[in-house]
Amino acid sequence: MERLERSAASRNARVAISDIATSEFTHYQVAVSPTGVRYDEYARAVHEACLEKTAANLTRSYEDCAKQICAACVYSTAMPGIYLHSDGRCNMCHAYEEALSRNKLQGGLERELAECLAPGPQDADFDVIVALSGGKDSSAALAFAASEKNLRVTAVLADNGFIPNFVKKNCQSMCDRVGAEFVILDFDFRDDVKRALATSDPSIYPCIVCTKQFKQLISEYAVRHNCKRVIMGRNFWATIEPELSGARELRAFNGQSVFWYSLPFLLGWKIQDLKPRLEKVGWDQRAKDIPGASTNCMGPGIVEEHFKNSTGLHPEAPLLANEIICGFITQKEGLDEIAGHD
């Protein structure tokens, strides 16, 4: 147990294994990944404790609860850090419901949305950066910020080496259509993918590494241009606890703050809200045919199968679960998306 406690401390876990049975928590608070990566002795102990908690909540046997899907989303007890309440819904569904209720009383999301869409100083080169991947979500966010809100936008694509040329060309044409500047920042992610594919016991999903790298790259660009706001096409929370938020503060290389806003989440969009905006900017429908759970990058199609074989879990299932919980897609749409990539 002492060894597990040291492992928990190294991961910054905020709920001890010994407290799992009597506590309510998110997978963030026990510092394990529901994607199944870094499934070491500590993660296994958390997983087993969550299964025991589910069995007690549902008054069923431990074995019967081993692969039980949430009644409302696509989180599953097969994922470390996930457990079910007596109503069959998972801890993440309950945590979001409670966090949203508190937030409505405080008006936090409304304030963040106003901050996100406020005009910048007149002497600035632009009002806001849109992190434009070329996928559906960020392309719709570009349309909203530049065309509907008339903000002065610079759209930045962080090219990891796996973005098809037609996607990059489409980003340029979409920006031209809405009057936004377009910038490409390059970084080489190929070695990270090679290393991920070389191990059968993954410690992290490479797309998560990519996300961290492109956020750092764009944050540094933002600071150089005296812009402290970046819009991204993220359809769920930036943080769910201790408080629900659609914004996250990141530090650039010189310690300056840059705030990243999950615009579709703050607007309360559903997937149907994307279509008219994608038509407005001329989003290239060919991106739908990119392999894997992506509409802009070849990377997921390369690594998904390897990670499913290594962990027994679909690496994009937690993201889809979060989108379901926030109302962006339905549970059926999430299940269909997972089935479509199995």
pLDDT band at 342 (very low <50, low <70, confident <90, very high): low
pLDDT band at 9 (very low <50, low <70, confident <90, very high): low
The single residue listed with the structure tokens 């199968």 is 305
Predicted pLDDT at 327: 98
pLDDT band at 2 (very low <50, low <70, confident <90, very high): low
Predicted pLDDT at 201: 78
- Beta strands 181-186; 128-131: pairing state: unpaired
The number of helix segments (H) and strand segments (E) in the chain equals 13, 6
Predicted pLDDT at 252: 85
Six token digits for residue 247: 């914004």
SS3 144: helix
State mean pLDDT over 13-29: 96
Q: Does position 1 have pLDDT exceeding 80, yes or no? A: no
Q: Does position 257 have pLDDT exceeding 90, yes or no? A: yes
CA 247 to CA 259: how far, in whole Å? 6
What Cα–Cα distance (Å) separates residue 141 from each residue in 115, 161, 232, 333? 15, 23, 7, 21
CA 5 to CA 80: how far, in whole Å? 17
Q: Give percent of the chain with pLDDT exceeding 90.
A: 83
pLDDT band at 109 (very low <50, low <70, confident <90, very high): very high
Q: Which of 126-130, 209-213, 337-341 has the highest mean pLDDT?
A: 126-130
Q: Are 262 and 236 in contact (CB under 8 A)?
A: yes
Q: Does position 158 have pLDDT exceeding 90, yes or no? A: yes
Q: Which amino acid is at 195?
A: R
Phi/psi-derived region of residue 110, left when phi > 0, alpha when psi is between -120 and 50, beta in every other case: alpha
Six token digits for residue 204: 């992290």
Q: Does position 276 have pLDDT exceeding 80, yes or no? A: yes
State mean pLDDT over 185-211: 87
Which domains, ranges and CATH numbers included, belong to the chain? Answer: 2-99 (no CATH), 108-311 (3.40.50.620)
**Cα torsion 241, 207, 193, 186: sign:** negative
pLDDT band at 235 (very low <50, low <70, confident <90, very high): very high
Q: Which of 97, 117, 110 is nearest to 326 (CA)?
A: 97
CA 77 to CA 92: how far, in whole Å? 12
Mean pLDDT score across all residues of the chain:
94
Predicted pLDDT at 341: 58
Q: Does position 114 have pLDDT exceeding 70, yes or no? A: yes
H or E element that contains 26 = none
